[in-house]
Amino acid sequence: MPRALVTGGAGFIGSHLVDALLAAGWQVRVLDNLATGRREQVPDEAEFFEGNVGDSQLAQQACQAVDVVFHLAARVSVRDSFDFMVEHNTTNVTGTLVMLKAAAAAGVTRFVLASSMAVYADAEPGTANAESHPTRPLSPYGISKLAAEEFVLLAAPAFGVEPVVLRFFNTYGPRQAFSPYVGVVTIFITRLLQGLPCTIYGEGEQCRDFVHVSDVVRACLAAGHESAAVGQCINVGSGRGTTVNELAMLIAKAVVTTPNFTHGPEQSGELRNSVADLTRARQLLKYAPAAVLEERLAQLVAEFRLR
């Protein structure tokens, strides 16, 4: 059996990836500090290591006899990153280097890095970002993810490890923990179900690419074995642009409630237009998003009602 290590495997995307790997016949290890992840989201079949990715001794233990490392552990909040720049750098940059060195020392074949659309510069309305779009982050979070990308693409081949970088767009779905800073879909659903107003920052015409976690997981699985993906940065999204105002109306419809949205000031560091061009993902990962936003929002609302 192939063996995978998933850092951040107790979290939102990571726990879904762990489930998919186990279903595909992999042996799986999880490394997570449980800062945002939940231990109960790690199946009993997966070996669990609790701790930080910056712990070199723990990283070396977790990487032993592993074929592929899926490095998803990160601090992920754009807004939070302005107040916690050092912490974002420590986890997202230094933590990535610690994991990469441990993987190389253990003879890991492939290192798949979860990056973000936050590495890009803002785009013109109505356009989609190819991977050649300028990388000019607007937040410390984006800077930390871009630095991690550059380190992995430079150092992994020198260490004898195959690097693959996946740039996730706005991911949503089950198990995303509620936070006032991350995950607008989860925030809107949670507050509307509680009868509370939701804040749309700016005028709400900023355009995003909302990709369901199931599609992100399929891209990760492909990145673990497709040879054409080695050495590449690859967008992972839906390829569809949706404004925040449109999203708000879709969620209100799914909740079956009168829209209760207010507008606040624009937030620093957030891209105005960010939609994925999936040409490279289709070619290198044989990736095609399957989730339909309206259908998945309805399913997600139903799941939230059962909590």
- Whether 219 and 169 have beta carbons less than 8 Å apart is answered as no
pLDDT confidence of 121, banded at 50, 70, 90? very high
pLDDT confidence of 77, banded at 50, 70, 90? confident
- Whether 71 and 83 have beta carbons less than 8 Å apart is answered as no
In this model, does residue 299 exceed pLDDT 80? yes
In this model, does residue 307 exceed pLDDT 90? no
- Whether 144 and 291 have beta carbons less than 8 Å apart is answered as no
As a whole number of angstroms, the distance between CA 12 and CA 66 comes to: 22
DSSP state of 177: P
Residues of the chain above pLDDT 70, percent: 100
- Whether 238 and 117 have beta carbons less than 8 Å apart is answered as no
What domains lie within the chain, and their CATH numbers? 3-172+211-238+278-285 (3.40.50.720), 184-207+240-275+291-305 (3.90.25.10)
| Average confidence score pLDDT of the chain | 95
- Whether 211 and 238 have beta carbons less than 8 Å apart is answered as yes
- Whether 153 and 163 have beta carbons less than 8 Å apart is answered as yes
Residue whose C-alpha is closest to residue 250's, from 179, 195, 301: 301
Phi-psi region of 231 (alpha: psi -120 to 50; beta: other; left: phi over 0): left
In this model, does residue 181 exceed pLDDT 90? no
Enumerate the active-site residues: 141
Pick the more confident residue, 27 or 269: 27
**Tens-place pLDDT, residues 253-273:** 999 888 889 999 888 888 899
